[in-house]
Amino acid sequence: MIFSRAFSFVSLLTVFLTFTFVAANPITFTEPRSDISFGKRQSNADIQSILTDLQSQVGGILPQIDALVSGGNASDDTVTPLINQLTSALNDSASSLSGLSSSSSSKRQSNDDIANLVAGIITDITNSLDGLLGQAASIPTLGALLSGVDISLNQVLVGLETLLAGVLNLVATLLVDVAGLLRSLAFGLTLASLGL
């Protein structure tokens, strides 16, 4: 009885001290952390700006592909230059990403933002390219063109994962509905990197 009272007093004291410690120390704990995350936020901002740039280039190319599809004008001659612009935009982003140094970890919030951005870009690309599948008969080199997009897109994804380990898991959860279209496009490298 006495022992158990003594024990519960010690437990109470421990709980009290733990609370006091936690309550008294947030400032000393968070200050060094916020210094570190400031550096990481900068690095995430670099990644974000590369991706925003990619998004805007892609946003200029895809509507032209959509127009070819809806006009029934898709052919090797019309599609090839646009797909080359797309792969070249992806290649540029991949090489910009590889120029950044990786941070050991980063803020959850900005990883979510980056994952959303990437998932949006992949979804847009996938939807437009999927339109071309309907006119594959008039685009004999379509398979080769799509495989080039897959290679370049995958390089972007690999570059991202190198900088922000785990980010592709977040991207993949946002692309569950798009996975079927990625399969139709035979984007094997992209699917493998995303684990879809």
Compute the least distance from the CB of residue 35 to ligand NAG, in Å: 38
Compute the least distance from the CB of residue 175 to ligand NAG, in Å: 22
**Which residue, 116 or 147, is less far from ligand NAG as judged by CB?**
147
**Which residue, 115 or 122, is less far from ligand NAG as judged by CB?**
122
**Is residue 122 a contact partner of residue 56, using CB atoms and an 8 Å limit?**
no
According to DSSP, residue 164 is labeled: S
Q: Which of residues 142-171 bind ligand NAG (CB under 6 A)?
A: 151-152
- State whether residue 47 is helix, strand or coil: helix
Q: Which of residues 29-88 bind ligand NAG (CB under 6 A)?
A: 67, 71, 73, 84, 87-88
Buried b (16+ CB within 10 A) or exposed e, 71-97: eeebeeebbeebbebbbebbbbbbebb
Residue 33: count of CB within 10 angstroms of its CB: 9
Q: Which residues bind ligand NAG (CB under 6 A)?
A: 67, 71, 73, 84, 87-88, 91, 151-152
